[in-house]
Amino acid sequence: MTTLPEVSEALGVSECRVPGSRVAGRAVKARIAGLAREACGLAADPEVGWDGNSAFALGAEVWEACRVPRAEAAAAVAARLEAEPGVMKAWTATDLEGPRCAGACALYRASFDPERSGDWVIQLDPHCLLSSEQEGTGHGSPYAYDRAVPVVFWGGGVAAGTVRGPAHSVDVAPTLAARAGVAPPAPVDGRVLPLR
């Protein structure tokens, strides 16, 4: 998960362009509402849904009332969001579904569901935290410090030591099954990790 913004700033490693390195989710919601009203030619700011992490969405009724094509309006909102302090990139659903989706886009795409995900995924500067709280931290950024999670196995028959290399959450079940001498149900997405 993301290091506490205050710690990143104290260590001088924060690349967040927002003082305090916290971006208020409610403020982003309000900004998207105003931008969507302008882009769609609506009479009032629409309600914006937020997943509490990095995805924001408008309801189907808002898109039905929008006076321009959805992809065009979403791109216009995204372009204006990218001018906001702390926002590195605002990915639209069209971006995430597109053939040129690579890098951070591909990481966000891995958890994108066209039927359930938001209309925009906001990528903040490194060490910025999108939150509704003034303390604590969270996760969901595409940066290595937020994606790299140690996997720890402890117990009888597991020698002390460190095994470096990539591991994925889907590797835990096959590894535990192998240690217990049980065949995992097939097919299995993960692999048995090399423990000492």
Q: Residue 185: pLDDT above 80?
A: no
pLDDT for res 5: 87
pLDDT for res 50: 94
Sheet of 120-124, strands arranged across: 48-50, 55-58, 120-124, 87-92
Quote the Cα angle for 189-195-196, to 5°.
165
What's the whole-number mean pLDDT along residues 27-51?
97
- pLDDT tens figures, 95-139: 999 998 999 999 999 989 888 888 999 999 999 999 888 888 888
Interatomic CA distance for residues 60 and 48, integer angstroms: 11
pLDDT for res 25: 92
Interatomic CA distance for residues 36 and 47, integer angstroms: 10
| pTM, 2 dp | 0.80
Beta bridge partners of 23: 130
pLDDT for res 131: 87
Q: Residue 38: pLDDT above 90?
A: yes
Q: Which fold has domain 5-146?
A: Gyrase A; domain 2 (3.30.1360)
Interatomic CA distance for residues 20 and 133, integer angstroms: 12
SS (H, E, C) the chain: CCCCHHHHHHHCCCCCCCCCCEEEHHHHHHHHHHHHHHHHCCCCCCCEEECCCCEEEECHHHHHHCCCCHHHHHHHHHHHHCCCCCEEEEEEHHHHHCCCCCCHHHHHHCCCCCCCCCCEEEEECCCCEEECCCCCCCCCCCCHHHHCCCCCCCCCCCCCCCCCCCCCHHHHHHHHHHHHCCCCCCCCCCCCCCCC
Please state, rounded to an integer, the average pLDDT across all residues of the chain: 91
- pLDDT tens figures, 60-74: 999 999 999 999 999
The CATH 3.30.1360.150 domain(s) of the chain lie at 5-146
Greater confidence (152 vs 64) lies with 64
Greater confidence (87 vs 159) lies with 87
pLDDT for res 102: 94
Q: Residue 155 — pLDDT band, cuts 50, 70, 90?
A: confident
